């Protein structure tokens, strides 16, 4: 039996959605339309490929158009579907938190490898602090990958902390993460309450204030400015944390920070001025940019 040409199929809905987003200037129009369709229909990509000739459900038409219209207006697809994958796990996201980026997975990987070497034969396990945890992607990933490690996740935003807690619960690591509200290292300068932080990891705001207006509209208009704005030159959070390092009960053995393009050398100098390290190294992202600065003691 031939298909009725007047009936919209799943494949045609995806194609038309892609074209609508492309006309609106959405860069990843094909991928975003497909992701929105999978989300709307609650199906897998394999199911879409298998059933692409099936009719699009009429009862979903209004919801489909609403999703496309919101994406047209610049709302990131991750906020529309409510999640983003990071290190193989689905994290809940909203406009309260920065969307986890693939390059930050490289920071998690570097910390895992370095800490495994430093604590390979040690009787103790590291206590890891993730400053500016946002969705909790770093802290939750490290806790999930290394069940014996002790994790602390902090953020200035109470809404971000709530989401990080939900992600920790969702991924069944909440019992091993302590959540703390506060600005950068300020909550941890009490040596009695926090006698030891072995690993300090952070993806802080690093966009220069004057550059915010020129960001992609998805980032500029929808991701939290608190998680983006790093001050006049983008280095304020690093200056503050570097100055606070020696006021901790003891110097962390690993400090691992994500940085903006062109900032690695300056951040490395801030770390070298703060303490004597055995090694300060850079980790490049997928574009070959020095994206992470890691100091080791």
Going residue by residue through the chain (297 aa), what tens digit of pLDDT does each one get?
Answer: 334 445 799 999 999 999 999 999 998 999 999 999 999 999 999 999 999 999 999 899 999 999 999 999 999 999 999 999 999 999 999 999 999 999 999 999 999 999 999 998 777 899 999 999 999 999 999 999 999 999 999 999 999 999 999 999 999 999 999 999 999 999 999 877 888 999 999 999 999 998 899 988 889 989 888 888 898 999 999 999 999 999 999 999 999 999 999 999 999 999 999 999 999 999 999 999 999 999 999
Question: What pLDDT does 190 receive?
Answer: 81
Q: Return the pLDDT at 142.
A: 98
Q: Is 55 annotated as a binding residue?
A: no
- The C-alpha atoms of residue 101 and residue 105 are separated, in whole angstroms, by 7
Q: Give me 237's structure tokens.
A: 């959070």
Place of tokens 């290292």: 185
Tell me: is residue 206 an annotated ligand-binding position: yes
Measured over the CA atoms of residue 189, residue 193, residue 198 and residue 202, the dihedral's sign is: negative
Residue 9 bridge partners (DSSP): 55
pTM exceeding 0.95: no
Q: How many angstroms separate the CA atoms of 273 and 267, rounded? A: 10
Cα 243 to Cα 1, 87, 128, 268: the distances in Å are 74, 31, 19, 13
Tokens for 16? Answer: 């038309």
DSSP state of 37: H
Is 5 marked within a binding site?
no
Q: What residues have CB less than 8 Å from 128, skipping those under 6 apart?
A: 111, 115, 139, 142, 149, 150, 151, 152, 197, 198, 199, 200, 201
Report, in this order, helix, strand and coil percent for the chain, each rounded to 5: 45, 15, 35
Best CA proximity match to 142, nearest among 127, 154, 161, 121? 127
Spell out the residues 6+ positions from residue 180 whose beta carbon is closer than 8 angstroms to its own: 152, 153, 154, 187, 188
The response to whether 155 counts as a known ligand-binding position is yes
Give me the residue label for tokens 């609650």.
42
The pLDDT score that the predictor gives to residue 6 is: 52
Q: Is 136 annotated as a binding residue?
A: yes
- Which run of H or of E encompasses 110? helix 102-118
Residue 134, annotated as binding a ligand = yes
Question: Is 135 annotated as belonging to a binding site?
Answer: yes
| pLDDT for 268 | 98
Q: Whose CA is closest to 100, among 113, 88, 118?
A: 88
The answer on whether 133 is annotated among ligand-binding residues is yes
Distances (CA, A) of 97 to 122, 132, 191, 237: 36, 10, 29, 17
Cβ-contact 177, 169 below 8 angstroms:
no
């Amino acid at each position: 039996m031939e298909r009725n040409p007047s009936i919209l199929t799943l494949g045609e809905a995806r194609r038309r959605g892609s074209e609508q987003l492309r006309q609106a200037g959405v860069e990843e129009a094909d991928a975003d339309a497909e992701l929105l369709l999978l989300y709307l229909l609650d199906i897998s990509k394999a199911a879409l490929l298998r059933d692409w000739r099936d009719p699009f459900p009429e009862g979903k038409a209004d919801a489909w158009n609403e999703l496309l219209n919101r994406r047209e207006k610049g709302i990131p697809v991750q906020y529309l579907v409510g999640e983003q994958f990071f290190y193989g796990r689905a994290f809940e996201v909203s406009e309260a938190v920065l969307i986890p980026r693939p390059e930050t997975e490289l920071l998690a990987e570097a910390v895992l490898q370095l800490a495994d070497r430093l604590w390979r034969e040690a009787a103790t396990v590291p206590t890891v602090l993730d400053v500016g945890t946002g969705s909790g992607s770093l802290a939750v990933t490290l806790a999930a990958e290394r069940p014996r490690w002790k994790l602390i996740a902090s953020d200035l935003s109470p809404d971000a902390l709530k989401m990080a807690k939900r992600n920790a619960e969702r991924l069944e690591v909440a019992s091993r993460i302590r959540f703390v509200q506060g600005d950068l290292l300020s909550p941890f300068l009490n040596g009695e309450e926090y006698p030891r932080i072995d690993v300090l990891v952070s993806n802080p705001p690093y966009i220069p204030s004057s550059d915010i207006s020129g960001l992609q509209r998805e980032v500029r208009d929808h991701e939290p400015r608190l998680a983006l704005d790093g001050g006049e030159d983008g280095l304020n959070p690093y200056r503050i944390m570097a100055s606070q390092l020696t006021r901790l009960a003891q110097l962390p053995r690993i400090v691992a920070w994500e940085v903006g393009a062109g900032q690695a050398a300056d951040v490395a100098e801030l770390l070298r001025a703060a303490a004597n390290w055995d090694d300060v190294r850079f980790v490049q992202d997928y574009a070959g940019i020095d994206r992470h600065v890691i100091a080791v003691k």
